[in-house]
């Protein structure tokens, strides 16, 4: 018995001691391999003025759960920490041992690459830092902080002190155009219990504080107007979710109610009244969320919209609801107030609509009142988590969508797609592929990234890992408010 107890105690001790030792040995071997094999390639590529010399490839690895894919870089960086192990975390919610192995390795490369870029001339940002005018509004530069859910709002839909602190920290980098997270225009369109709301005048005072904080930093702010449609789990459970047709979501598999004409007219009015409240609260613009599988996009997609009335049929017919929402918003805010619309330029799903389809209605949307086209992509059910692109996707990987939208409109177009590098963004603006660039998760990872770029301190910036653990998965699985795996301050006030 004594021997068995000793053996058991030894095993328990080994379980505590061996993993950290293996981790240290693994990271040391990884570092040595990186310095001897990959670093010379990075040096050569930068001396040649080119980007990193490898591209991400998928492969099936042995020894991992069936179906788990890893980037090709995992072959180069074999890190022996079990994927389900529990380890160090800053706040008990983001376990950095659970970061995908290749994310850590790629970030080492990105950081070293950043050090080599430290001498970049800030004059190369001259186009990105140029102001841009939209109607009567002058935006100080072309850097956009796009909408990102935070789960920081009060449960009654009002703005919390945590919301204000979060925005204050994010905008200190100097982004010219800030777009709020989703703000619900109607009680039957609320995405989650802590979604910000604007369906009643009682929300105006709190929203006004948010606008004031942004204005103090010299930036401009737009409110994103949103209706969740069939993608609201709580509404679906209660049988209150509305959609163009009674077709279940790919995600929740619960049928919503089909909207009748009265529901449609009420929702159009709600968008207009929400825009009016945004202007009264001191916002500089509004943005209609017609992307990522929510209500406005649901009308555009034949997977969601199989109506036979004037709001269904061909692509132009399915766009009618979006057009009428834009027209009502324009009516309520007047001719001098900028209106943006965020679209998924491609549905990125089997038999979904294409960018050519979207090009066909762009002039109609502009005529209806759109002053800015925010060209995102994907929907609920798109493969690979593309709407919140993980590390497998290269920064700027969907710039061509913005370029194609620009071909058919004369209003500013915002490009989207895992941007972390202001110098890359400046090149895109210089080429004319887009007019403005959205840096989403980079504002979470390091809000000072633009300051560092302006001052020539690129090596001090922490680029976003695109791990999606604290900003996407944490919110999706209702684990709390927004966090960031490499910035423990995010969401902490």
The three-point CA angle 340-166-267 to 5° equals 35
Give CA–CA dist 27/435, Å, rounded. 41
Give CA–CA dist 350/382, Å, rounded. 9
Give CA–CA dist 381/444, Å, rounded. 25
Closest to 142 in 3D by CA, of 442, 470, 492, 422: 422
Residues 6+ apart with CB under 8 A from 63: none
CA distances from 75 to 22, 25, 109 (A): 17, 17, 15
Give CA–CA dist 6/122, Å, rounded. 64
How far from chain centre, in Å, is Cα 493?
A: 20
CB 432 within 8 A of CB 449: no
Give counts: helices (H), strands (E), the chain: 17, 15
The pair of three-digit structure tokens given for residue 317, joined into one six-digit string: 């017919």
SS3 157: coil
How far from chain centre, in Å, is Cα 394?
A: 15
Q: Which residues pair with 184 in a beta bridge?
A: 197, 226
The pair of three-digit structure tokens given for residue 53, joined into one six-digit string: 């010399």
Give CA–CA dist 415/395, Å, rounded. 11
- Following DSSP, what letter does each residue of 398-447 receive, concatenated? THHHHHHHHTT--S-EEE-S----HHHHHHHHHHTS-SEEE--THHHH-T
CB 187 within 8 A of CB 201: no
Determine if residue 295 is left, alpha or beta; phi over 0 gives left, psi from -120 to 50 gives alpha, anything else beta.
alpha
Phi, psi of 177 (to 5 degrees): -130, 115
Closest to 366 in 3D by CA, of 417, 296, 398, 319: 319
Give CA–CA dist 319/211, Å, rounded. 31
User: Kind and range of the H or E element at 179?
Assistant: strand 177-184
The three-point CA angle 188-209-484 to 5° equals 75
The DSSP secondary-structure symbol of 478 reads T
Q: Annotated catalytic, 294?
A: yes
The three-point CA angle 188-194-196 to 5° equals 70
Which residue out of 64, 233, 252, 294 is catalytically annotated? 294
Give CA–CA dist 485/199, Å, rounded. 34
Q: Catalytic residue positions?
A: 294
């Amino acid at each position: 018995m004594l021997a068995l107890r000793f053996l058991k105690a030894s095993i328990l001790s080994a379980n505590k001691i061996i993993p950290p030792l293996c981790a240290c040995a693994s990271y040391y071997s990884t570092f040595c391999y990186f310095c001897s094999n990959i670093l010379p390639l990075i040096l050569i590529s930068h001396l040649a003025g080119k980007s990193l010399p490898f591209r991400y490839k998928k492969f099936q690895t042995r020894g991992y759960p069936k179906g788990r894919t890893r980037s090709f870089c995992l072959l180069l960086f074999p890190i022996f920490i079990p994927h389900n192990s529990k380890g160090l975390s800053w706040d008990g919610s983001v376990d950095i041992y659970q970061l995908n192995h290749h994310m850590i390795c790629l970030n080492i490369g990105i950081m070293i690459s950043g050090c080599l870029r430290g001498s970049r001339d800030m004059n190369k940002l001259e186009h990105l830092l140029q102001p841009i005018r939209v109607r009567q509004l002058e935006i100080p530069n072309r850097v956009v902080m796009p909408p990102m859910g935070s789960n920081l709002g009060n449960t009654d839909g009002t703005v919390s002190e945590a919301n204000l602190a979060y925005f204050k920290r994010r905008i200190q980098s100097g982004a010219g155009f800030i777009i709020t997270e989703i703000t619900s225009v109607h009680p039957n369109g609320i995405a989650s219990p802590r979604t910000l709301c604007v369906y009643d005048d009682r929300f105006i005072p709190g929203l006004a504080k948010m606008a004031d904080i942004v204005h103090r930093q010299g930036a401009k702010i737009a409110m994103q107007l949103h209706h969740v449609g069939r993608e609201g789990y709580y509404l679906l459970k209660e049988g209150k979710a509305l959609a163009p047709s009674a077709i279940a979501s790919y995600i929740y598999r619960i049928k919503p109610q089909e909207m009748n004409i009265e529901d449609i007219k009420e929702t159009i009015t709600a968008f207009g009244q929400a825009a009016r409240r945004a202007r009264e609260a001191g916002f500089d613009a509004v943005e209609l969320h017609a992307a990522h599988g929510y209500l406005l996009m649901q009308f555009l997609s034949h997977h969601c919209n199989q109506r036979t009335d004037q709001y269904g049929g061909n692509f132009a017919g399915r766009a009618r609801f979006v057009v009428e929402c834009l027209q009502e918003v324009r009516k309520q805010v007047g001719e001098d107030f900028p209106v943006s619309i965020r679209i998924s330029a491609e549905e990125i799903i089997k038999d979904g609509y294409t960018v050519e389809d979207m090009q066909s209605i762009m002039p109609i949307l502009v005529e209806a009142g759109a002053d800015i086209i925010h060209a995102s992509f994907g929907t609920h059910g798109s493969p690979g988590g593309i709407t919140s692109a993980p590390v497998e996707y290269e920064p700027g990987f969907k710039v061509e969508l913005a370029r194609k939208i620009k071909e058919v409109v004369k209003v500013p177009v915002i490009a989207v797609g895992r941007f972390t590098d202001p110098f890359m963004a400046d090149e895109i603006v210089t080429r004319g592929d887009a007019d403005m660039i959205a840096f989403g998760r980079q504002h979470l990872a390091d809000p000072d990234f633009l300051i560092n770029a302006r001052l020539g301190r690129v090596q001090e910036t922490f680029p976003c890992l695109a791990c999606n653990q604290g900003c996407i998965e944490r919110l999706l699985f209702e684990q709390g408010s927004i966090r960031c795996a490499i910035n423990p301050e995010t969401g902490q006030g």
